[in-house]
Structures are given as C-alpha cells and as structure tokens.
Amino acid sequence: MPSLRLSLLASLGLCGCPAPGCTPVDPPLARVESLEGDPDWQKVQGIWREAAAIAGAGDYPFDEAGQRRLFADLEESRTLVQGLAARGLLTESEAGLLQEDVDELVGLVGSKRPTELRMATCYEPMPYTPVRDTLTRLEGRLPLLEKLAVDETLHPEVVRRVLARVEEDLELLESEEWLAGHPDHSVPDLDPVRASSQRARAAVERIEARLAAPGATPPEAPATIPEVEP
Amino acid sequence: MSVEAEPPARPYPWPRGLVVELTWRCDHACGHCYNVWKNPGVPAPEPLPTAALLSLLDRVVDEAHLSLLTLTGGEPLLHPGFFEVVEHLAPRVGLNLITHGGHLDDHTIARLVPDRIRTWELPLLAGRRALHDALSGRPGAFDRATAAMAALKAARQRVVAVFVALRPNLAELERVVELCVALGVDGLMLNRFNPGGAGARGIAALQADPSALQTMLDEAEALAARWDLPVACSIALPPCLLDLSRHLHLTAGFCALGTENAYYTVDPAGRLRPCNHSPTILGDLQTQPLRALLDGAELEAYVAARPAACAGCALERRCQGGCKAAAEACVGSPWEPDPFLGSFMHLGRLGSPGITLSGSR
C-alpha cells in the first residue's frame, strides 16, 4: 500500500515533496502532536489499518456483514478526515490526499468476496435464498409480466404457465385464513397487503383477458425440439 | 473478520464438484460456443458407454467426497443414457444441469423433479425472440427456453438464467433481467464472452470492449439492486480493465483452479481437464485416480501459468491475468493474455500492463 503510507506520512507532515521548486516546510510540531493524540485521527488510522489488512488478505477475508461494516467504517473515515481538516489538524491538501486513499481502500476492499459467496463460482452460482417475500415478488413480477404479454415478448403459453404460479401466490395473499395463520412481524399492518392483492388481481385479470382475446394465441405452442440433429 | 491464506497451494485440495461433459453433440449452433472440440485440431471425444461412465464417476465421487456434479455437454439431454445417469447419480451427489432447454417438455421435467436436479442453468441471450434465436443458431430457441423456465418454476425448481455478454446483445440486459423477474427465475449468471471453440472464430464480431462492458456492468448493478436479483459474473473480469469495486450487488471472482472451487472437467471419454474451457488433458480418469491427476505436473504447470505482462501486479497471483483457458484455446498457450486482456490491455484503466493496483496513483 505505498500510496496509503505516503498519504499517512504526508498527513503528519513527514514526507518531503519531490516536485522541483517546491520547498518542504516543517509542520508545526504542536499540530502533529495534536493530530497524533486526536481520538478521531486514531479512529481513522484503526479503520485504515483494518482495511489495508483486508486488502492484502486472501480471497474471502470477511463475511457479508463484515464487508458492509467495513464499507460503512471507510465512509465514516471520510467524514472524520473532513472534521480534522475543519478543526485545522489537517490542511486541505492533506485531507484531499487522505480522501484519495479512502477511494483506493474502498476499491481494494470491494474486490474481495465475502465468505457467503465462497460457492459463487461458475457452477454453483449464488447463495440459495429460498424464502422470498411473496408480496414483493408479486408486485415486481406482475407489471413486467403484463408488459411482456402485451408486447408479445413471451409466448402466450409461457405467460399462462407463469400466471398459474402467480395465482398460487395471489390466492395465499387473498386468504384471510392464510394471513392469520402466517403472522409476519415485518408486515404489522395487513391493510396494505390486501390493497396490493387487489391491484395484483386486477393485473392478472387484464392479462387473462388479453390471452383470451381473439388472435392472441399463435397457432402453435412452443414445442420441444422434435428430433435430434447433432 | 477472518483473514485466510491465499490459495492455491499444493497439494491442491479436493474440489467440491466436477463438471461432466456427457456428450459433444448439440442441436444448437451458438456462435459463442466454447466447447473445446470445436477448436481446430481437437477431435470430438469418443464417449464412454453409460455403464463405464457411471463406474468412473462413482469412483471419483467416493475418492474426493464430491458434493456436486454439473452435467453439461454439448446438450446433455442428447446423451442416450441421460436419464439413467441422473437416476444413478442423484441419490449419491448433488446434480446441476446446464441445458439449452429445448428438450424440456412437461414429460421430461416430470422425470427429473422434485429432487433430481439441484440447479438448472438455461440460456437467456436476449429479451427479444429473434436475437436470442439468431445467437443460438436455432429458430424457436427463445420460446422453448422461456417455456422450460416457466415449467421448471411451476415445478418449484431452482433456475438460473445465463446471459453471455456479446457485442450484439449488450443492450439486451435490462430486458433479460425483466424476463428473469417475470419468469420468477432465481438468479442470473452474467458472463462476458470468453472465446474458445466456435467462439474463437468470431472474436471480432462478438467481443465487446471494456468501456461497453463497464457500462453494462454498471447497468447490471442497478438492475440487480432494483429487482433484488442475484447476479453472478462467472467469467473472470480483469480488474485492470473493469472496475467492480462499487458493484456490491454483483458477485465476481477469479480463476479457481487449484482451489476447492475449481471445476475440473470430465470429458465424454472420461479424461480430466483443468476446466471446461481448456483443451488440456490432465489424464485419463479411467486408468488414474483423481488425486494422481491433481498432484501431477501438468496441473501444477497450468496453475502457475499467467501472462508475462501481469508480472509484478499486486493482483498477479489472485487474478492470474484473466482466463488462461481462453488464452490456450485462442492463442495457443495459457501463458499468453486471453483474447479480452490481449486486445485491450493497452487501455488498462489503472495504467500500463504490469503497474500494480496499489501503485497506480
């Protein structure tokens, strides 16, 4: 991490500038000592030390929660650096250099994969997430399905097949018995669920009407390849 | 957070799974197909009889305590013993199936559900019927693939769509994602074009430049977040050409060869290769145990291979300079840059080749 080290040194006024015509200036000792003893600066250094260790580590140096926390910490370090500059403990140019180092650390940390994605290779592509929010899925899928049915991107038989599955979800959401039997702490108020179900039902009926319209269905359903042609 | 040692190191660990190419036969004609027997001078392998193949796989599964086999081809459903293979293996080991979906009617699916196949991977190359069919080299491919996806989801199967990013279809990504959401598929594999086989003859027409790919990846990040759709970039994306550092919704990685995530490949004749993109034969599993091939000099040399231009880069050991199998298939050596890196390394966003990430500022 050469550039990071340079920036850290520069921020303490300990790095000479090699540019021609540039006269190194010794920083006021008091400012350096104040910075070194400042809790915010110490916190910045701690965050960066951790990020630098992660950046130089192996393929899966953290889990997803750890990755999120480290990104959040790095963002916090930006704010802390700005605060140090505002308090006169860093010059603006020093703070600018340090912000560049944060950019670099964010990039390096972002190139690492969390342990949950250890199996996310070509043939085990992603973590399995079997539990989905039925309501969210319906609200996302139905407008798309309607669009793809209207512009005939999808074959009508495919739309019918998808609708059958959507219907299963929708019937659950329309069932007061099912809702009562499956309390969801993330949905304390069921009225929005009922309203959403009504909108979804209306969308399903529009799609079904379109499929039933004369000429909506091509003469042949998509058939599998009839014979082997290697 | 735990810090782990950097792989790979000998002795190479057992892989979690293997890729099994059941047959070289296919009734699609994708211009981007990387099947190695479509490389010049690489003959299509003579397939083992089904019984011999199953005997070989039984032995390897036991030897390496494998948890996963990925069945592919060619088109695996064209293997005459396909159902026998699945019936035999499914109780013993997890199975993934890579298929174009053209042979998955309700009757066929009924023989394979509820618990024979863990993950189904089907192509979705465009959001428009005509383009998908053209890229597949087969009229009707789009309708058959989407019908198969809908039928599999109706049967509560785990389905992953595969989008291969080619110059002609880059603009299709949003429509493909919308299709995925509408069909209810569980995730999208977003692969850059990785030439080899038939694809090696179409690089100029099919290979997108880094700028166009970066734009597509940025779009993919936004779409993945918007639709909460898992998106995995399975083909290595050289970090000197593409920036995924802020793509928190995309997963990506580097060549897994020599690690437990490697996907060593068994060809139809029972020979082991480093992966399904590489034409290198590591040995014959009919006559040699898997451990002997993992410990062999051929694999060690292959793991060590990386382009000379990448020497000294901070990510040299992890990135390994893109896809060495594509380099081998198209340029003739895994020590050369693969066609993507070789074509565009002069544009490197971090500077000239060999400049390290950390020293690039």
pLDDT tens, position by position, A44-69: 999 999 998 888 777 788 888 888 89
Q: Which residues of chain B have pLDDT under 50?
A: 1-5, 351-361
A230: pLDDT strictly greater than 50: no
Residue A62 contacts B, CB cutoff 8 Å: yes
Q: SS3 for chain B, per residue?
A: CCCCCCCCCCCCCCCCEEEEECCCCCCCCCCCCCCHHHCCCCCCCCCCCHHHHHHHHHHHHHHHCCCEEEEECCCHHHCCCHHHHHHHHCCCCEEEEECCCCCCCHHHHHHHCCCCCCEEEEECCCCCHHHHHHHHCCCCHHHHHHHHHHHHHHCCCCEEEEEEECHHHHHHHHHHHHHHHHHCCCEEEEEECCCCHHHHHHHHHHCCCHHHHHHHHHHHHHHHHHHCCCEEECCCCCCCCCCCCCCCCEEECCCCCCCCCCCCEECCCCEEECCCCCCCCCEECCCCCHHHHHCCHHHHHHHHCCCHHHCCCCCHHHHCCCCHHHHHHHHCCCCCCCHHHHHHHHHCCCCCCCCCCCCCC
Size of interface A-B (CB pairs under 8 A): 189
A1: pLDDT strictly greater than 60: no
A120, part of any domain: no
CB contact under 8 A, A104 and B16: no
Structural domain of A190:
128-214
A121, part of any domain: no
* Predicted local distance difference test score (pLDDT) of residue A28: 62
* Predicted local distance difference test score (pLDDT) of residue A15: 40
Same domain membership, residue A162 and residue A138: yes
CB-closest option in B68, B230, B245 to A126: B230
* Predicted local distance difference test score (pLDDT) of residue B320: 83
State the Cα angle at B148 between B143 and B153, rounded to 5°.
Answer: 130
Strand partners, A88: none
User: Chain B neighbours among A 175-214 (CB < 8 Å)?
Assistant: none
Residue B160 contacts A, CB cutoff 8 Å: yes
A184, part of any domain: yes
Whole-angstrom Cα distance, residue A181 to residue A225? Answer: 45
CB contact under 8 A, B143 and A113: no
Same domain membership, residue A104 and residue A82: yes
A31, part of any domain: no
Same domain membership, residue A163 and residue A209: yes
* Predicted local distance difference test score (pLDDT) of residue A217: 56
Whole-angstrom Cα distance, residue A51 to residue B338? Answer: 31
Per the CB < 8 A criterion, the answer to whether A172 and A134 are in contact is yes
A92, part of any domain: yes
A11: pLDDT strictly greater than 70: no
Domain finish residue from A87, A115, A143: A115
Same domain membership, residue A109 and residue A52: yes
- Tokens at A227, concatenated: 């014979």
* Predicted local distance difference test score (pLDDT) of residue A138: 84
Nearest to B334, CA basis, from B268, B265, B257, B269: B257
Q: How far is A118 from chain B (nearest CA, A)?
A: 8
pLDDT digits (tens, 9 = 90+) for A167-221: 988 888 888 887 776 666 666 677 878 888 899 999 999 999 999 887 665 545 5
Same domain membership, residue A136 and residue A111: no
Confidence of residue A22 (pLDDT cuts 50, 70, 90): very low
* Predicted local distance difference test score (pLDDT) of residue A218: 56
Q: What is the arithmetic mean of pLDDT over A15-31? A: 50
A17: pLDDT strictly greater than 50: no
A29, part of any domain: no
A21, part of any domain: no
Residue B79: closest CA among chain A residues belongs to which residue? Answer: A228
Same domain membership, residue A104 and residue A153: no
pLDDT digits (tens, 9 = 90+) for A64-115: 888 889 989 999 999 999 999 999 888 888 888 888 888 888 878 877 778 7
ipTM, 2 decimals?
0.79
Residue B130: closest CA among chain A residues belongs to which residue? Answer: A153
Domain finish residue from A81, A115, A149: A115
Same domain membership, residue A192 and residue A142: yes
Per the CB < 8 A criterion, the answer to whether B83 and B108 are in contact is no
Same domain membership, residue A208 and residue A133: yes
Same domain membership, residue A78 and residue A134: no
Residue A131 contacts B, CB cutoff 8 Å: no
- Number of structural domains, chain A? 2
Same domain membership, residue A93 and residue A56: yes
Produce one character per residue of B101-121: b if its CB has 16 or more CB atoms within 10 Å, e if not.
bbbbbeebbeebeeebbbbbb
State the Cα angle at B186 between B184 and B190, rounded to 5°.
Answer: 115
Per the CB < 8 A criterion, the answer to whether B124 and B162 are in contact is yes
Q: Is A111 helix (H, G, I), strand (E, B) or coil?
A: coil
* Predicted local distance difference test score (pLDDT) of residue A8: 54
* Predicted local distance difference test score (pLDDT) of residue B339: 95
A219, part of any domain: no
Select from A50, A137, A157, A225 the residue whose CB has the most chain B CBs within 10 Å, as the one to mutate to test that interface: A225
Domain finish residue from A115, A142, A172: A115
